[in-house]
Each structure stands twice: as C-alpha cells, then as structure tokens.
Structure 1
Amino acid sequence: MPENSSCSGASSCSKESCEGCSHNSQNPQSMLEAMNAYSNIKHVIGVVSGKGGVGKSFVTSSLAVQMAKAGYKVGILDADITGPSIPKMFGAHGQLVGDEKGMYPYETKEGIKIVSINLLMEDEEAPVVWRGPVIAGAVKQFWNEAVWGDVDYLFVDMPPGTGDVPLTVFQSLPVDGIVIVTSPQELVQMIVKKAFHMANMMHIPVLGLVENFSYLKCPDCGKKIALFGESNIDEVAAKEGTRVLGKLPLDPAYAKAADAGAFYEMENPYLDAAVDALKTI
C-alpha cells in the first residue's frame, strides 16, 4: 500500500515524495496568494450561486452599498470574467490605470472600489473568450496586482456553479465566508446545495442564504404574489444548518437604477440581517 493512497499519484508515492505533497495532511501547503503590498483588506466575502440568473451580482452590489452606507470601506472584485455586470450597475466606465505598485481600482464617487475585466478592455461589449486556467489567473491578478488600499469588506462576485473560478477563489483568497444566492424554484434550490456542499468541502463558512425574486408586491393592494412558487428557503436553510439573510422582492426600481448606473441610490432594507451578520465577522 502506498504511503498516501489519497494522492492522485498514489501508485508512485513514497515517504520522501509525499513530504511536500498538498494531499499530505501532516504537511499541508497553503495555496493562498499574497495580498498586494499596498493593500490592507480585513474581510473577504464571496457571493455565489448554484446557477445563473438568480441575481447574484445584484445581491453583491446591494451588500456593498449597504455596508458602505453603514460607514465601512468597501470593494468589489468582479470575478465573473465572462459575464461582468458590476461596472454598469455603478456607472463605471473607462480603463483602470496602474504604476509600479500595481493597478488601481475604479472608485465610485461614494467610495466603492471596483476591479472588473470590463474596466481593462477597450471595448466593454467585446466577449471574453478564454479558457478556464486563464480566467482563474485573471482572478488571482485582481487580488494580488490591484492596489486596493484600506478595505474593510471586499465582496467577490463569482460566476455561477462550482467550476474553476469558485475553486480558485476558495483556494487562493482568504475568504471569511460566503453568501449563497437562490430563488424560489425547486430546481434552483436543489442546485444551490451543490454550492453549499462545495463550500463545506473547502472548509469555507457559509454565512447564510439570500432568496431573490421571492415575491412581487401588488402596487394596488400590497399583496405578495409568489411568481416563482412558494418559498421554502427557511426549510432549506434549516436542513443545511445555516440561516436566511434576506428575501428580496421583484422591484422594477432596482432594475431601472442598475441600468442607469445609479445603484448606490437604492436602499435595500431586505438585507438588514445580512448586514448584521457581516458586522459580526
């Protein structure tokens, strides 16, 4: 039997060859990337979803805005390389600049710092046609080559699923916890469990769940209409041993503000529990 039967190369393992192996539990190797020398980031929060189209970037931006309004210094690392939407929501255009220290994030007039692939391209509508390893490398660069300065909370907006980018973020960045975004459909809630279980496998704390598109409030009578079916997020959270951090309604005003690049102007009281949870980290 080889010394380390869990290693991918277990058939050729020896005591000497396994000493530096990342699979060796007695000598684990950290894969964390060094922070930029001119950055001081206190907390890194990942925002993930099991599938696309559930409003993950909306939740990321909402959390960033609410924490900034609470007096914290906030940044957003847009790790959704092939589908970046953060810059448009904040009216961020143009290209990032840099010097020998690194590249400087775009900073909104309210003080939120943003790094996104769209802010590095001449044509922000051009597609990013890259393979997984290149995309993962770009995410690392956003971390260790960006001069973030002092940031209390850095929110990482990740692409949906459990692929290269979430894996890279979980392994390379000192993530304090993740917020999982879902919607009321049964299919979505089944898939979100994959994200939850991936976080557990990577030993990343799950801060809680946020349900988007939870209901539509009738403008005439105020009745809550469950357009995508009745919510069972409370049951899902209880089963997974976590908590619900917010239930967000469908509201055309949010979409209008995002399209206009005026997202900071919006208030989102539905995330008060999430804000409270972040303050306790």
Structure 2
Amino acid sequence: MREALWDALKTVNDPELHRDLVSLGMIERAEVEGGVAHVKVNLTTPACPLKGKIEGDVRAAVLAVPGIEDVNVTFGAMVRPPAQPALPGVKHVILVGSGKGGVGKSSVAVNLAASLAVEGARVGLMDADVYGPSVAHMLGQGGARITANAERKMLPIEAHGIRFISMANLSPAGQALVWRGPMLHSAIQQFLKDAAWGELDYLIVDLPPGTGDVQLSLTQTVQVTGAVLVTTPQDVALIDAARALDMFRKASVPVLGVVENMSYFVAPDTGLTYDIFGRGGSRKLGGLPLLGEVPLDVEVRQDADLGIPAVLSHPDSPAAQAMRQVARNLAGRVSVQTLSSLPEQLPVV
C-alpha cells in the first residue's frame, strides 16, 4: 500500500511549479498506519500562497487509494536557494524599487519583510536608501546603534522578527550625507559583505528612488534573485517605474512583479471606494505579474510613525491583508524563479 500511496502523490502537482510533489522532493513522509495515511509536505516557502489547494489535492489523491480511509496532511517548509546563492547563509536577495519617490516603496518593503517573517521565514532587511534612510524609524529603532562582533562584522539590529541594517543607525540623527558614487558603493559593499546576516531565507533590499549608483552597485556586487516594482496607479509614477523596469532588465535582474500601492481608498464612514490616483495603471508595465493592489490607509502611515509594521499592528485591516497576500505571491514567484535554476529531477526526501 505504501507504493500505491507514493504513486498517488506523484499525480499531485505544485500549482505554481507545475511539477509533481514527489519529483520536486516536497514529500518528507508518506506512510500508512491502520488505514490512515500520514503525509508531510515540505513547501518551497513558509509563505506558500496555495497551501490550501495543495492540501486539498493531496487529500483527494490519497483517499482514492483502495484501503486508505483517512489522511493526515501536515506541512513543513524549506526555502530552496538558487543554483548560485546570493551571499554565504543568504538564499535570496530581493530588491524593492520604484523609479521615483513618494509611492510608499519603503513602507511596502518593511511590510513585505514583516509579512514573510510572520509566515515563518528568516528575513533580513537592508536599507539601501543611504541618503534618505527610513527603515529604522518604521521599525521603531531610530535611536539604536549598530555594533560589531568579535570578527569586526556589523551586527544587524533585530526588530519584529526582522534583522536590518540602515544608515540611520550609523550616522547622527538628522545629519545629511554628502557622498559621491565611490562612497555609496563602499557603503553598499559593507552592508552586504561586512555584516553578520546569519542564515536568511530572504534579504529584502529597500532601494533609493531612481536608477543610479546604488542600484548599479547592488546588481554588480551580489547575485540577485529578482526585483519588485512599487508604483501608484497614475501615469507620472508609471513613467518612472517603466524606467526602473528597463534598468533591471539591462542589469539582467528578473522582475518578479509589481505592487500597486495606494491603489484605492475606502472611506471609513461610508464604505465607498474612491480611486484617488486612478486604478489598475500598473497593468501597463510590460505585462508584469501583479503581486497585489494595496489600498491607501491612514493606519499604514500611523503605524510607520509608531515604528510597528501595519501587518503586525492592524493585521485585519484591508491594507495589511493586501500586503500579506503580496508577500505570499512574491514568495511563490521566488519559488518559480528558483526552480528554473535547479536540476530537472530533485531527490526524493
């Protein structure tokens, strides 16, 4: 019966990867005890957006095996690194860019990192906006100072389950950094390679606006899994987002999708929806996958000022729910991107 059980599991495909769970090495345990099948599935990310469908498909396939009366499906997760991992201990580097300021890029980056951490992933957040660092404030650690370990490696600060580094924690508050390109390049190198990030599934990088020195330094320094574009729906934001898209493509960085931030506003007193900046404009960006539409929500701004990501402070709000789904969709895209760099046949666990 064990062989029949494994044969049944070979008929169940991962909905995003389009290969069966057995050949993908996602089945950790499959055995039958007293007419009950026990199956453990190791997802490719703790933030798998289609976990429910996988469970339903496994149950249906296993219950079709003669002699099996019930099935107990449990889940684990193991984020697989690409063929060439980004950094020692860091599986995936994901850039969050916008092409222009004012679209809520840093807010999206912080809430993406927090969402992935809530799902159970090991997450780091690097604030690469050296001239205008805001991540530390958004995580409630604006006054913290970065220290070093015995190996003289920078120790990321930990907040809300996220390890992060920001220039705000290295320079005096309010002091402007008047740096040329080579100094920016040196700072990015230090953030990436002279920091004790430890074991991370995802390192989210909050980019500065534009397509300048920092973006170039990052793409030349580290193997990037992919990028996320953040935009608002109106044309003036999309024009610059298109430039950022062109930059990533020229740098051979896969663009995993777009987040339409401030996509709409729901009036709290009437429940009416207003498209303040238009809506759906992100679909004009070269056919990129839409990771999600995040509504304009005053609580997101308030939470950022208080130093608590909205997905933690107001998890049931429409904006937080949208951001959580964006994170799941992004994790799924990373898994698909990773599969393309792995061997066709993976070992069965």
Q: Which residue of 2 aligns with 1:257?
A: 303
Residues of 2 paired with 1:136 and 1:221: CA distance? 50
Q: Which residue of 1 aligns with 2:273?
A: 224
Q: Which residue of 2 aligns with 1:119?
A: 169
* 8 Å Cα contact 1:246/1:273 also seen in 2: yes
Deviations 1:217-265 (A, max 9, x none): 011222210112343222x14xx13211111111111111110112242
In structure 1, the gaps of 5 or more residues are 1-31
Q: Which amino acid aligns with 1:225?
A: Y
Q: Which residue of 1 aligns with 2:292?
A: 246
Q: Which residue of 2 aligns with 1:105?
A: 156
The Cα shift of 1:99 comes to 3.0
Q: Which residue of 1 aligns with 2:181?
A: 132
The 5-angstrom pairing of residues 167-246 of structure 1 reads 167-234=216-283, 236-237=284-285, 240-246=286-292
Higher CA-based Rg: 2
Residues of 1 paired with 2:166 and 2:154: CA distance? 11
In structure 2, the gaps of 5 or more residues are 1-83, 339-349
SS in 2 for 1:247: strand
Q: Which residue of 1 aligns with 2:145?
A: 95
Question: Aligned residues: percent identity?
Answer: 39
Residues of 1 paired with 2:192 and 2:185: CA distance? 11
Residues of 2 paired with 1:160 and 1:193: CA distance? 13
Deviations 1:61-84 (A, max 9, x none): 011011000000111010000000
Q: Which amino acid aligns with 2:322?
A: Y
Q: Which residue of 2 aligns with 1:77?
A: 126
Structure 1 residue aligned with 2:195, among 138, 146, 149? Answer: 146
SS in 2 for 1:114: strand
Structure 1 residue aligned with 2:329, among 254, 270, 276? Answer: 276
The 5-angstrom pairing of residues 46-61 of structure 1 reads 46-61=95-110
Residues of 2 paired with 1:183 and 1:259: CA distance? 21
Q: Which residue of 1 aligns with 2:344?
A: none
The 5-angstrom pairing of residues 18-57 of structure 1 reads 35=87, 39-57=88-106
Q: Which residue of 1 aligns with 2:8?
A: none
SS in 2 for 1:175: coil
* TM-score, scaled relative to structure 1: 0.82
* 8 Å Cα contact 1:63/1:275 also seen in 2: no
* TM-score, scaled relative to structure 2: 0.66
SS in 1 for 2:239: helix
The Cα shift of 1:47 comes to 0.2
The Cα shift of 1:120 comes to 1.1
> Which segment is superposed worse, 259-268 or 133-142?
259-268
Q: Which amino acid aligns with 2:330?
A: A
Residues of 2 paired with 1:100 and 1:85: CA distance? 28
The Cα shift of 1:266 comes to 3.8
Q: Which residue of 1 aligns with 2:48?
A: none
* 8 Å Cα contact 2:291/2:329 also seen in 1: no
Residues of 2 paired with 1:266 and 1:219: CA distance? 15
Residues of 2 paired with 1:133 and 1:275: CA distance? 36
RMSD of equivalent CA atoms: 1.8
Q: Which amino acid aligns with 2:328?
A: V
SS in 2 for 1:181: strand
Q: Runs of 4 or more off by more than 4 Å in structure 1? A: none
Q: How many residues align?
A: 242
